[in-house]
Amino acid sequence: MSAGVQPTRGGVPRLRLDELLDELQVRIDEVRGTRDRLNGLLEAVMSVGRELDLPQVLRGIVEAAVVLVDAEYGALGVIGADKKLAQFLPVGISDELRGQIGDLPSGHGILGELIRHPETLRLSELSEHPASYGFPAHHPPMHSFLGVPIRIREEVFGNLYLTEKRGGVEFDAEDEAVLSTLAVAAGIAIENARLFEGLRLRERWLEASSDITSALLSGAPENDVLEGMLERAKDITTADMGVFYLLGSAGELRGSLALGEGAEAHRGIVLPSTRGTLAEAALARDGLVTVPDVAADERVTVQPERWTGFGPAVAVTVGTEEKLSGVLMLARRHGRPGFATAEIAALPGFAGQAALALELAERRRDAEQMSLLEDHDRIARDLHDLAIQRLFATGMTLQSAQRFVDHPEASERLSRAVDDLDATIKIIRSTIFGLREHESPGQAAKLRSRLVRAMEEAAAALGFAPALRMEGLIDTDVPSAIADEALAVVGEALTNVARHAEATRTEVSIAAAAGNLTITVTDDGVGLSGSGRRSGLRNLAERAERLSGRMHVAARGDGARGTRLQWQVPLTPPPR
């Protein structure tokens, strides 16, 4: 029998009183520690369950986990549709240190191990695991590790990662049990927060749709309606930039409206067609497509540098495949989480309202065009029945008066006056012909109407309507090949003004006279200081040279602010 233990009656050993008291104190401390931990777990569960704002719920979960298992560092990783980390919320690392470390992890190493195998993982030494990937520069040392998946029903939402248990000890089975319990409660809290967020998003989309409907019914201008829609869509989805690409008459997509960071790079941009673009991909997927990194997407083929700095993006078609009106694109800065399904579920229906706005605007233009054509018919009748008849009668009177004039010089002047009247009658008849020549569905649009339409399309990118002045017999004297080139020149010149000039007024003058077609575009912008603007003029000069013409661009002169561009080609190409 050992020393310190005294025999008692019946042979049962008796501990010394002080040892018994020490043992009792240890048990009491264990019970108290367990009770405190259970209270802490209960408080954490109640805390995350009370919150309904999803970002706050996620932050609260990882902060509670760090306290419950006494870890120095913790993080919650949200798994995206591509099975990579779409969001990573660290705790315990300062903002300064986070900036030195660089990009947040995407799901390699141990973090990826839990994504591939969503089961609890407890390690005494991180570096000894086969999947260990190492740490980037400036990353604090980490040894002990505990990872637990967070499930929402059958879906693995993400993982809780805890490292460096305080005191230099390992995480134990009790830590694992506590964290697993918290993960179950976290899954329920996250699901509730997602449901609440979905309801809130639907409410905001419905409110925005109601406002847009009111604007449409009130007859608000097309550009105002589209700008309001783009602003609301950008706000609801928390996008950093939004752009409307509208489909032009030649099948090109034109960046007619852009808002947010880097928007100026998209205004006026022209994509030759939808082939191979995100617009085509959106049509193939019922009108909606998302990309994790738009700057690196191979379908962004035209001037991809305009997407530099952006990451997640969503493209939705405006209209249907049978009648596509354009594409609405929203993008977030690189490093931000991708667009969640709940955030963009209502976007196709919202874009449908944009198609309705464009349809109503087209109907209004058609009605205005019909009214204009009726005015043309009336003016043509008046010119024919009144002006021409009176001019013809005046010419006949002058011709008959020549017989009574003996002075040769006076007779010559009368003859020239009669010739001038004949020329004036021809001009008026040509004008009447132009006024009465209505477009039909099977007939190519005349240059005048195409130029007017080009002004309307350019107004969205410019932010104002450019002035247009036409002189001469543009519809009859300009060959179709030159007319196509002229339309392209006007479009490119106005795009150049929209992108570089920062102008508040632009005037386009087109004249067919003296055997030449002359296009003059003036603006009150910043001038030719930017190299980008000069490079944008090179194509216009090449077009003129191909038609044996010339282009000249310079400051407006007379102390006026802005630029004057003149593009001139012969109506009849010289023989070669």
Quote the CA–CA distance of 339 and 288 in Å, as a whole number. Answer: 12
Quote the CA–CA distance of 331 and 265 in Å, as a whole number. Answer: 14
Residue ranges in 11-72 assigned as alpha helix (H): 17-50, 54-68
Query: Residue 95: is it exposed, middle or buried by C-beta count within 10 angstroms (0-12/13-18/19+)?
Result: exposed
Both tokens assigned to 545: 């040279």
333 - beta bridge partners?
A: 310
Query: Strand 288-291 to strand 145-152: parallel, antiparallel, or no bridges (unpaired)?
Result: unpaired
222-236 and 447-462 helices cross at what angle (nearest 10)? 40
406 - beta bridge partners?
A: none
- For residues 49 and 186, is the Cβ–Cβ distance under 8 A? no
- For residues 338 and 325, is the Cβ–Cβ distance under 8 A? no
Domain 445-576 part of CATH 3.30.565.10: yes
Amino acid occupying residue 121: L
Domain 41-196 part of CATH 3.30.450.40: yes
The overall longest dimension of the chain from CA atoms, in Å, is: 169
Predicted local distance difference test score (pLDDT) of residue 235: 92
Predicted local distance difference test score (pLDDT) of residue 439: 46
Sign, Cα dihedral of 275, 276, 279, 283:
positive
Per-residue pLDDT of the chain (576 residues; tens, 9 = 90+): 444 445 544 444 554 555 555 555 555 554 455 555 666 666 766 767 677 778 888 888 888 888 888 889 998 888 877 777 778 888 888 877 877 777 667 667 788 888 888 888 988 888 888 777 767 777 888 888 999 998 888 888 888 999 988 887 888 888 888 888 888 888 888 888 888 888 888 888 888 888 887 877 777 777 788 888 889 999 999 999 999 888 776 667 778 888 999 888 888 777 766 666 776 677 666 678 888 888 887 776 555 577 888 988 998 888 766 667 788 889 999 878 888 888 888 888 888 777 777 777 667 767 777 777 777 777 777 776 777 778 777 888 888 887 787 788 888 888 888 888 877 777 776 666 655 555 444 344 578 888 888 888 888 788 888 998 888 888 778 888 899 899 989 988 998 888 888 889 999 999 988 889 999 999 998 887 654 455 557 888 888 998 999 999 988 876 778 899 999 999 987 765
Extents of the domains making up the chain: 41-196, 219-341, 359-438, 445-576
Quote the CA–CA distance of 416 and 406 in Å, as a whole number. Answer: 16
pTM for the model stands at 0.54
Mean pLDDT (the chain) is: 78
Predicted local distance difference test score (pLDDT) of residue 551: 94
Q: What is the dihedral of CA 48, 49, 50, 55, to 10 degrees?
A: 50
Predicted local distance difference test score (pLDDT) of residue 184: 85
- For residues 253 and 464, is the Cβ–Cβ distance under 8 A? no
- Reduced to 3 states (helix: H, G, I; strand: E, B; else coil), residue 306 is helix
- Reduced to 3 states (helix: H, G, I; strand: E, B; else coil), residue 449 is helix
Sign, Cα dihedral of 275, 278, 281, 287:
negative
- For residues 564 and 557, is the Cβ–Cβ distance under 8 A? yes
| CA-wise closest residue to 331 among 341, 323, 339, 319 | 339
Predicted local distance difference test score (pLDDT) of residue 570: 93
389-401 and 408-436 helices cross at what angle (nearest 10)? 160
Quote the CA–CA distance of 426 and 403 in Å, as a whole number. Answer: 25
Quote the CA–CA distance of 144 and 126 in Å, as a whole number. Answer: 6
The model's pLDDT over 482-532, given as tens digits with 9 standing for 90+, comes to 998 999 899 889 988 888 888 899 999 999 888 899 999 999 988 876 544
Q: How many residues comprise the chain? A: 576
Quote the CA–CA distance of 373 and 446 in Å, as a whole number. Answer: 14
347-382 and 408-436 helices cross at what angle (nearest 10)? 150
Give, rounded to a whole angstrom, the gap between the first and last alpha carbons of the chain: 127
- Reduced to 3 states (helix: H, G, I; strand: E, B; else coil), residue 135 is coil
The DSSP code for 384 is: I
The arrangement of secondary structure in 219-341, i.e. its CATH architecture, is 2-Layer Sandwich (3.30)
Per CATH, 41-196 and 445-576 having the same topology is answered no
Give all strands (DSSP E) within 383-448, no chain letters.
none
Predicted local distance difference test score (pLDDT) of residue 22: 57
The model's pLDDT over 220-268, given as tens digits with 9 standing for 90+, comes to 777 788 888 889 999 999 999 999 888 776 667 778 888 999 888 888 7
Predicted local distance difference test score (pLDDT) of residue 1: 44
Quote the CA–CA distance of 541 and 489 in Å, as a whole number. Answer: 10
Output the CA–CA distances (angstroms, integers) from residue 310 to 242, 246, 301, 338, 358, in the order listed. Answer: 11, 21, 15, 11, 28
Predicted local distance difference test score (pLDDT) of residue 500: 83
Both tokens assigned to 393: 């009668």
Predicted local distance difference test score (pLDDT) of residue 335: 79
For residue 88, the surrounding DSSP H or E stretch is strand 85-91
Predicted local distance difference test score (pLDDT) of residue 408: 83
Neighbour tally for 16: CB within 10 Å: 11
Sign, Cα dihedral of 98, 99, 104, 108:
negative
